[in-house]
Structure 1
Amino acid sequence: MESNHHLSLIKPTVELKNEYLAFYNEWVESKEDMVPWVIQKDPSDFEAMVQFLKGNEQGRNLPEGWVPDSTFWLINQDKRIIGAVNIRHQLTPFLLNRGGHIGYGIRPSERRKGFATKLLSLSLEKARELGIRKALVVCDEENTGSFKTIIYNGGIPDTDFIEEDGNIIKRFWIEL
């Protein structure tokens, strides 16, 4: 298992284009849902994608009803992208039930190594820096790994949210 103390969060940068494309393509090839949502963004115009993420953080050109958000990549000492996180600066009624403040994901080949726990821990520090005092983190009920990660990072269960299709979203608050 790789050491977790050599991991850090960085803002998206064009300097890591090839590494990010490897990260992105691994998700595509896995055919899994891409989480957080920002990694679903087509990176073929890489500079435009990075500018889009910067714009979101500054609240520029946001779709109606969206809030500013910050995206970070989890990298190791070799600058390999292990995961990504998207932190919403505030909550809308939709995010209060389904999205929470923090959405994160670990690339398929790096799961079950403790990286998600470290990613969420580092993300909570970033959320605190953004002025968030109590973070909402959610996961689908069947996502046992995420459930355990959130609890380990101090998640206090709140009322579940049940989507129209019956999917149960577990909701947790973490004091910062």
Structure 2
Amino acid sequence: MLELITPTYNLHLEFLDLVAEYQQAGEFRMFDQNNLTLIQEDFSTYIQYLENNSQGINLKPGFVPATNFWLVMNSKIILGESQLRHWLVPTLEHRGGHIGYMIRPLQRSKGYGTTILAMTLEKAKNMGLSRVLLTCDQDNLASARIIQKNQGKLTSEGLWENSDKVISRYWIDL
């Protein structure tokens, strides 16, 4: 059984396994160093940080409230994580959008990306959003397919700041 839940201390060890899996795959960028330290040394504070972020408490300048979710199988295996940003600012309109998601490396290519996005879109609709923006690197074909399977329509492309890397922007009506 798959569920989309808010992060919980009860899955502390499972989340540490997820982080280790990203690190072993060389995907260190998934967690900034401050959060990585909290995850490893004070997980309850990390969970509180996520809750505060969802409520807009102590946000960094330029950040918006965002709610994190975990895609969990059988109430014990974390397959991936999504983040639903409550509204957009200019930087998110360029890159980032309303929703970001990731599936742990050993669980990819099993349809979980499509599922986590569909479930997060339902959360966005329940939050009162009528359409959402998602972005991905143009060469990230897997993410583009996931977005398109969830009715994403490519509306524009642009360059990363100080780079020749192209970002694709998709809108999804809810």
Name which of 154, 160, 173 aligns with 2:171: 173
Q: Residues 21-74 of structure 1, C-alpha deviation per residue, up to 9 Å, x if partnerless?
A: 111111111112544x57982102100100000000000000112110000000
Q: CA RMSD in A?
A: 1.5
TM (norm. structure 2) is 0.93
1:82 aligns with 2:79: yes
Distance in 2 (CA, whole Å) between partners of 1:160 and 1:135 is 16
User: How many residues are treated as equivalent by the alignment?
Assistant: 170
Question: How far is the alpha carbon of 1:93 from its aligned partner?
Answer: 0.2
1:58 aligns with 2:52: no
- Gaps in structure 1 of 5+ consecutive residues: 1-5
TM (norm. structure 1) is 0.92
Cα separation, partners in 2 of 1:34 and 1:9, compared to 1, 3 Å: farther
1:144 aligns with 2:138: no
Q: Residues 78-125 of structure 1, C-alpha deviation per residue, up to 9 Å, x if partnerless?
A: 520000001100000000010100000000000001110001000100
1:16 aligns with 2:11: yes
Query: 1:154 is paired with a residue of what secondary structure?
Result: coil
- Gaps in structure 2 of 5+ consecutive residues: none
Distance in 1 (CA, whole Å) between partners of 2:87 and 2:34 is 21
1:126 aligns with 2:123: yes
Residue identity matched to 1:175: D
Percent identical among aligned pairs is 39
Whether the aligned pair in 2 keeps the contact of 1:24 and 1:39 (CA below 8 Å) is no
Query: 1:99 is paired with a residue of what secondary structure?
Result: coil
